[in-house]
Amino acid sequence: MAQDRPTASELLAAIADFLRDEATPALDKAEPRLGFQMRVAVNSLSILEREARLGPAADAAEQKRLAKLLDRDGTLDELNRELARQLRTGKRDERDAALMEHLDATIADKIAIANPRWK
C-alpha cells in the first residue's frame, strides 16, 4: 500500500538532493572517481523521481493516443506491439501525420523524464 507523505517521488528527490549537495562534494575532494560515480547515481535517482511523478500520466496519454490512432482498445503494450507490426508491414510510415504527431508527443514525454534540460 502506498504511503500518503512523503510520496515515492518526494523520497527519491530528497535522496538525490542530499547525495548531490552533500555527499558528492565530499567525495569529489576525497576520491574524484567516486564523486563521478555518485553523480551518475544521483542522475539515475532523478530519472526515477521524474518517472514516478510523470510516468503514469505519460503512459495514460500515450495509450489514449495509440487507441485513437489505431482505432482499437488495448493495453499500452498491446497497442505498441500493434503499431510496431503496422510499421514493419508498411501499413504506416512517416507520411502518416497522425503517427508523427503521436511519436512527437511520446518522445517529448520520454525526454521530460530522462533529461528535461535537453532541447
With beta carbons less than 8 A apart as the criterion, state whether 44 and 114 touch. no
Q: Does 34 map to a domain?
A: yes
C-alpha–C-alpha distance, residues 63 and 87, integer Å? 17
Q: Does 31 map to a domain?
A: yes
Residue 117, pLDDT score = 87
What amino acid is encoded at 38 in this protein?
A: M
Closest by alpha carbon to 112, among 60, 65, 64, 53? 53
C-alpha–C-alpha distance, residues 19 and 40, integer Å? 11
Q: Does 1 map to a domain?
A: no
Q: Does 2 map to a domain?
A: no
Residue 116, pLDDT score = 86
Closest by alpha carbon to 65, among 106, 109, 94? 106
pTM here is 0.82
Q: Does 27 map to a domain?
A: yes
With beta carbons less than 8 A apart as the criterion, state whether 74 and 67 touch. yes
Domain count, the chain: 1
Residue linked to cell 517521488: 9
Residues 6+ apart with CB under 8 A from 27: 34, 35, 38
Q: Does 52 map to a domain?
A: yes
pLDDT averages per 10-residue partition of the chain, 119 residues: 81 93 94 94 94 96 98 98 97 96 98 89
Closest by alpha carbon to 6, among 17, 19, 117? 17
